[in-house]
Structure 1
Amino acid sequence: MRFATPTRRQPPESIVPMINVVFLLLIFFLMTAQIAPPDPFEMALPQAGQQAEIAGDAVLWLSAEGIPALSGQTGDAAWAALGALDPDTPVTIRADRALPAVDLARVLQRLGALGFSAIELAVQP
């Protein structure tokens, strides 16, 4: 009696390499993404006719009450962090539009006393 040889079934293609590629791409995009930290205060920037490109490396946030924030630190800790920076570092001020001009002038005086000369004010066009 002659039996037919069974046909060999091909194993299904493995999807493991595809999963590996997808996870590698996911990791790549997560590592290269620029995730902006949240604003320390809820604020509305002052209005202006035009806005130039902001080049400040250090961003000093000022709330409507005049509370400063820098790199996640607020109050006196923010001033201490500013004092630790190189005075040649450009500083960008993001002040709430409700901040009185007198308080902004005091902040500018304090920045000048710390030796900062390149100071920009961020505005909303």
Structure 2
Amino acid sequence: MDFRDPPRRRLDDNLLPMINVIFLLLIFFLLAARLTPPEPFPVTPPEAQAQAEVADDFTLHIAADGRLGYRDAQDDPALAALAQARADHCAATDCAAEPPTLTLRADAALPANRLAALMPRLATLGFAQVELVATAGPAP
């Protein structure tokens, strides 16, 4: 009869499946995450009664002092970058059938006359529809 102790298992063998699961979860979350470019500066949207879904393709940020931001560009270069992004989009898709929508994320402290003065400049970029982002306000 053999009365020796049975051979012990190494503890490293138990960690390998756990490490595999962690890496699979990491890959899943990296693939499932939606990566968006950072906002050029903080913007506090005005309040509204209902919240609509916002697309991130053509989002122009407007600060309280009137600065414009699109992706990494600010002010006049931001408008030029927005026009170029629209031209690239229209080269790939039919903009006559389904025109792209411009989303404005304006600060709530931005005076309305500055926003109104910006609208003719935005119209020259060729956007048929402009949406203003607002946060949900208190119910009446």
| TM-score > 0.5 by shorter chain | yes
The answer for unaligned runs of 5 or more in structure 2 is 88-94
Is this contact kept in 1: 2:103–2:132, CA < 8 A?
A: yes
Give 1:59's aligned residue: 59
Q: Deviations over 1:68-93 (max 9, x none)?
A: 11112212221111111147321100
Q: Number of paired residues? A: 123
Q: Which structure carries more helix by proportion?
A: 2
Name the larger-Rg structure.
1
In the alignment, the residues of structure 2 paired with residue 61 and residue 26 of structure 1 have an alpha-carbon distance, to the nearest angstrom, of 32
CA contact (8 A) 1:40 1:72 kept: yes
Q: Secondary structure at the match of 1:83?
A: helix
Counting only pairs closer than 5 Å after superposition, residues 1-125 of structure 1 correspond to structure 2 as 4=2, 6-12=4-10, 14=13, 15-55=15-55, 57-84=57-84, 85-86=86-87, 88-125=99-136
State percent identity of aligned pairs.
41
1:24-76 Cα shifts (integer Å, max 9, x gaps):
21122123222454432223211222233334631100001111111122122
User: Structure 1-normalised TM-score?
Assistant: 0.81
Q: Secondary structure at the match of 2:81?
A: helix
TM-score calculated relative to the size of structure 2:
0.73
Which secondary structure does the structure 1 equivalent of 2:43 belong to?
coil
Where in structure 1 are there 5+ consecutive unaligned residues?
none
> What's the secondary structure of 2:47's corresponding residue?
coil
Q: Distance in 1 between matches of 2:50 and 2:38?
A: 25
Amino acid at match of 1:89: P
- Rounded to whole Å, the distance in 2 between the matches of 1:93 and 1:64 is 13
Residue aligned with 1:17, SS? helix
CA RMSD of aligned residues (A): 2.4
